[in-house]
Copies of this chain bind each other. A is one copy, B any other.
């Protein structure tokens, strides 16, 4: 059993903790948190040992009647690997502690690439991180782009990617974030930093990205152009994307018109927290004009990196090869069942 510590128990950390617990070859040593709020209380209810991330704040937990198993340093020491899901920038600060206890660690995509030894996406570069000390699981948007780029690159070759990322302004519970009624170029200067981030996974890829921020909370939306080095027809590209393990090509007959409908589907499917771990690509949108591929994909900012973190644990520790790990992760999380049949129900196999 791989002993995994989770440092930071917010949007990403709590999801990773649940996913790790579901893995047959992993166990959660504990989770670390800075203060006793509803998520700390939830961790205890779920039976996770809770560690105090900040020494001085331990009394606050006591006051709130929440038992503490120890300090974060103990968690790091007892773990084979730590998933650091602290807010952006804190992960970098924690790197020294992980080094001190000689515990490999995964940071999240909000950290700078030069803080880490390598960046990671399960589909794209699983084999490159074995034995590294500090590995970054790239951000939700970069994960979504990487999953799309990998098969296209392998199958057709890519001349250039141009992507407009229409990003949600904040997560559903982040009530302090805007905009309320605006569409914001963000960042204004182009190309945006998202392209270079994809280059940490695909160093030689030509990619230009543009970012916007809009008043929505559910998912990011990517408006994608890929100039291929071949001219497949759209149906062929669609087949390729449907065959991938973490893409959900939305069939027309489902009638899903946006992120709200996708989330409804995920709720009905019984997904925990209505999470959508897959890239959601509108099948109808997949189209070719000459060598130019176009499509729309929606990315669930809160959860698409969760299975990636699970795989990164095995990849760094060398505990499984790529295919084994992805399959084990998907099966344990229920990702392999899919959100819905991707073909019309009439065409779908009876037991799907």
Binding site for B on A (CB under 8 A): 14, 36-39, 41-42, 63-66, 160, 162, 164, 166, 168-170, 172-186, 188-191, 208, 210, 212, 214-221, 223, 225, 253-261, 263-265, 267-270, 272-274, 282, 284-287, 289, 292, 294-296, 298, 340-341, 344-348
Contacts and interface: CB of A to CB of B under 8 A. Distances in A.
Contacts of A220: 183
A316 B28 CA distance: 49
Contact of A217 (B181, B270, B298): B181
Given A37-B254, A285-B190, A214 B64 contact: no
A181 to B, nearest CB: 4
A309 to B, nearest CB: 18
Contacts of A172: 181, 218, 260, 263-264
A345 B274 contact: no
B217 A180 contact: yes
A65 B221 CA distance: 31
B175 A260 contact: yes
A108 to B, nearest CB: 19
Contacts of A162: 162, 225, 292
A114 to B, nearest CB: 23
A259 to B, nearest CB: 5
B255 A37 contact: yes
- Most chain B Cβ neighbours within 10 Å, of A166, A170, A264, A340: A264
A278 to B, nearest CB: 16
A8 to B, nearest CB: 15
A344 B65 contact: yes
Nearest to A168: B183
Contact of A289 (B176, B191, B284, B346): B191
A184 B258 contact: yes
A345 B65 contact: yes
A65 B347 contact: yes
A208 B289 contact: yes
Nearest to A221: B183
B267 A175 contact: no
A268 B212 contact: no
A169 B172 CA distance: 16
Contact of A260 (B41, B179, B259): B179
A168 B66 CA distance: 36
Contacts of A178: 169-170, 174-178, 180
- Most chain B Cβ neighbours within 10 Å, of A36, A170, A273: A273
Contacts of A296: 185, 188, 190, 210, 212
